[in-house]
């Protein structure tokens, strides 16, 4: 990061100003948690010096899925069908593995109509940052309960939710995502560092961000309101992130800090507060999610990470050149070969 003397504006390692990472003006409600998440995405991509022209933005349908329009204007975008972002993302990433992909979904988009696609995306460990902007309701269609609404939580009209929630983090860990985190749209510092770690990570980074809907789900009785989440947030510890291009010889107290080496050489530092938490232990991560949920709390931070797990692109053993750049002769069999196949089926 440097100051450009000509303009006095802060630039990143590509010489770009933060304006290159902004998007269109938001049309979401003032105070919506989703807007704060877009701001952190802008900061994270700017500070990590990712070329916005090398980014794919993908989403489904919902207020949350509109968010990619509000960050990274120079990037490529595809606003798909409700719950179908995972299949579009899979096709796009396999066609051009040289791009950095970020998908934004909602708790309805992921947990209801899109749950089948979500499940298979997680088990494939596709290189993708997958953000769920989780407000426990269908904001766009006026606040009905979504599958992440807690049992017993109250809607604005007084209706009580009588179904148990799906914990998207527990599901993602169980299925095979290699970085799983939960954060809160109101926790600027934690969310920024989680996003930076996700940018450095290879494989699926599934980040469930509790993001209050100020219009339909921010009242007493809701467990996804600003006040409830502030009072019940249980951070696993303080998170710091040092990208590979910055000096990593920082002092940190051995014994109280776990340093996770990312595949690109960056370091994720997890400073523990209360528990002796090991983010590479799958069983411990799932136990923690169950225990905190039983107390009505949210564990936030990086819950699980497996930096060296093979991703979907590697496991398919694709050719070095992204499929999008291969000439037609290499991706389409010639007519004679197709004729031969047809003949053999007679
Ligand atoms: C196939 C289909 N079914 C239903 C809808 C209606 N619909 C639009 S958005 C939405 C839910 C959005 O909730 P969520 O994903 O949580 O996003 P939020 O608006 O809360 O951010 C629904 C049911 C639709 N657009 N398409
Ligand atoms: S309705 Fe709710 S989720 Fe949608 S923009 Fe407004 S505050 Fe955000
Ligand atoms: Mg929602």
Distance 99 CA to ligand 3 centre (A): 28
- Best of 109, 137, 211, 224 for a ligand 1 pocket test (most atoms within 8 Å of beta carbon): 109
CA nearest to 167, candidates 124, 123, 136, 130: 136
Q: Is 214 in the pocket of ligand 1 (CB under 6 A)?
A: no
Measured from the CB, is residue 76 less than 6 Å from ligand 1? no
Distance 81 CA to ligand 1 centre (A): 10
185 lines ligand 2 (CB under 6 A): no
What's the token pair of residue 106? Answer: 């909602």
Distance CA 162, CA 302 (A): 30
pLDDT for 331: 87
Classify 42 as helix, strand or coil.
helix
d(CA 280, CA 137): 31
Q: CA–CA separation, 164 vs 162, rounded Å?
A: 7
Taking the whole predicted model, whether its pTM rises above 0.75 is answered as: yes
Distance 300 CA to ligand 3 centre (A): 19
Neighbours of 265 (CB within 10 A): 12
Helix, strand or coil for residue 230? helix
Whether 224 and 134 have beta carbons less than 8 Å apart is answered as: yes
Which parts of the chain have pLDDT scores under 70? 1-7, 248-255, 272-275
140 CA to middle of ligand 2, Å?
7
- As a whole number of angstroms, the distance between CA 282 and CA 260 comes to 15
Instruction: In whole angstroms, give the CA distance from residue 208 to residue 206.
Output: 7
Closest CA to 179 of 44, 309, 317, 316: 309
User: pLDDT at position 251, please?
Assistant: 56
- The ligand that comes nearest to the alpha carbon of residue 215 is 2
Closest listed ligand to the CA of 33: 2
Q: Give the model's pLDDT for residue 69.
A: 98
**Whole-number pLDDT of residue 277:** 82
Identify which of 168, 161, 79 has the alpha carbon closest to the alpha carbon of residue 131.
Answer: 168
Distance CA 120, CA 3 (A): 44
* CA of 142, nearest ligand number: 2
Q: What is the DSSP string of 130-179?
A: EEEEE-SEETTTT-EE-TTSPTT-B-TTSPBP-SPPP-HHHHHHHHT-SE
Going from the Cα of 32 to the center of ligand 2, the distance in angstroms, rounded, reads 6
Which atom of ligand 1 is nearest to 110's Cα? 15
Ligand 1 pocket test: pick from 61, 115, 214 the residue with the most ligand atoms within 8 Å of its Cβ.
61
pLDDT of residue 248: 62
**Å from CA of 218 to ligand 1 middle:** 19
pLDDT in tens, 224-278: 999 999 999 988 888 999 999 987 665 555 557 788 999 899 999 887 655 678 8
- Which of 26, 60, 63, 218 to probe ligand 2 with, by most ligand atoms within 8 A of CB? 63
């Amino acid at each position: 990061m440097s100051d450009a003397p000509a303009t006095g504006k802060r630039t990143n390692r590509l010489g770009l100003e933060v304006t290159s990472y902004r998007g269109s003006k938001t049309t979401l409600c003032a105070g919506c948690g989703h807007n704060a998440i877009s701001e952190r995405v802008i900061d994270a991509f700017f500070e990590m010096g990712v070329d916005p022209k090398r980014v794919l933005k993908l989403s489904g349908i919902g207020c949350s899925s509109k968010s990619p329009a509000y960050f990274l204007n120079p990037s490529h975008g595809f606003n798909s069908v409700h719950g179908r972002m995972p299949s579009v993302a899979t096709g796009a990433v396999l066609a051009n593995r040289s791009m950095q992909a970020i998908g934004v979904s909602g708790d309805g988009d992921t947990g209801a109509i899109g749950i089948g696609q979500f499940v298979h995306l997680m088990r494939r460990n596709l290189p993708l940052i997958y953000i769920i902007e989780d407000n426990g309701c269908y904001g766009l269609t006026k606040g009905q309960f979504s599958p992440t609404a807690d049992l017993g939580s109250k809607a604005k009209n007084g209706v009580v939710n009588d179904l148990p929630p799906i914990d998207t983090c527990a599901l993602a860990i169980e299925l095979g995502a290699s970085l799983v985190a939960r954060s809160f749209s109101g926790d600027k510092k934690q969310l920024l560092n989680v996003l930076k770690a996700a940018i450095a990570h290879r494989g699926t980074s599934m980040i469930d961000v509790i993001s209050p809907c100020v219009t339909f789900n921010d009242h007493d009785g809701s467990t996804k309101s600003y006040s409830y989440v502030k009072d019940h947030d249980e951070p696993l510890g303080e998170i710091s992130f040092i990208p590979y291009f910055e000096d990593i010889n920082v002092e940190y107290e051995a014994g109280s800090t776990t340093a996770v080496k990312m595949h690109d050489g960056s370091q994720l530092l997890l400073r523990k507060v209360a528990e002796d938490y090991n983010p590479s232990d799958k069983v411990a991560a799932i136990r923690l999610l169950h225990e905190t949920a039983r107390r009505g709390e949210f564990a936030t931070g990086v819950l699980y990470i497996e930096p060296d797990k093979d991703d979907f692109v590697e496991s398919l053993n694709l050719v070095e050149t992204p499929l999008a750049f291969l000439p037609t002769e290499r991706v389409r069999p010639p007519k004679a070969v197709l004729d031969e196949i047809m003949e053999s089926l007679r």
